[in-house]
Chain A
Amino acid sequence: GENVEQHPSTLSVQEGDSAVIKCTYSDSASNYFPWYKQELGKRPQLIIDIRSNVGEKKDQRIAVTLNKTAKHFSLHITETQPEDSAVYFCAASGTGGYNKLIFGAGTRLAVHP
């Protein structure tokens, strides 16, 4: 069935370091891969996304890479700041389309000053 695996489940870094979160998806038909950030008690917010016709996308300190052959995609955050501390979710578009997303289990990122 449809599945998205996300690693690691927790990540602790020092301020200024880089953080990398990796996801693997199962459905070869998936063509849209967003990343959401969820702070404690808040709603998930889209931070970056990539479509299957693009291999890499960057927005300031965050970037996403996609390897369709291996069904892997990753989130890279550079120069981390304490306000980057949150739970990050990767997702892949699901079977049947129509705005159905299959989410990974989440990565709790802690950035220590």
Chain B
Amino acid sequence: KAGVTQTPRYLIKTRGQQVTLSCSPISGHRSVSWYQQTPGQGLQFLFEYFSETQRNKGNFPGRFSGRQFSNSRSEMNVSTLELGDSALYLCASTGPSGANVLTFGAGSRLTVL
């Protein structure tokens, strides 16, 4: 059974640009959550999607957005990038039998120059 797949794994952008990250959950998992990991702030919840609907959102500015497709794949977008957006962005999926049980992908490491 394939795990959670995130693409791209690494990317470099400059301030002011925008970026889109993709996450394919484990087959059969309909919930996808996104987290930002930085050395200073640790792991912080961005948002969670289920059946193409955002069910919960963390305390991030509106520059951070996401969506989920009918096949449960999810994307997150960050517009007008700032230096502080440099981070590891982790996606996690949850299946129907394990409420709150997150399985993480390997992450997308974003560097903003």
The residues of A with any CB-CB pair to B shorter than 8 Å are 32, 34, 36, 42-46, 49, 89, 91, 93-94, 96-106
Residues on A with beta carbons closer than 8 Å to the beta carbon of B58: 100
9 pairs of A and B residues whose beta carbons are closest in the complex:
A103-B43, A98-B55, A32-B100, A43-B104, A98-B56, A96-B56, A99-B94, A105-B42, A100-B56
Contact of A98 among B42, B50, B92 (CB under 8 A): B50
**Chain A: minimal CB distance from B40 (Å):** 10
Contact A34 B33 (CB under 8 A): no
The residues of B with any CB-CB pair to A shorter than 8 Å are 31, 33, 35, 42-45, 48, 50, 55-56, 58, 90, 92, 94, 99-107
**Chain B: minimal CB distance from A47 (Å):** 12
Mind listing 6 A-B residue pairs with CB under 8 Å?
A: A43-B90, A89-B42, A99-B33, A101-B43, A103-B42, A103-B43
**Chain A: minimal CB distance from B89 (Å):** 12
Shortest Cβ distance from A45 into B: residue: B104
CA distance A33 to B110 in the complex (A): 29
Residues on B with beta carbons closer than 8 Å to the beta carbon of A98: 31, 48, 50, 55-56
CA distance A91 to B102 in the complex (A): 11
Contact B90 A44 (CB under 8 A): yes
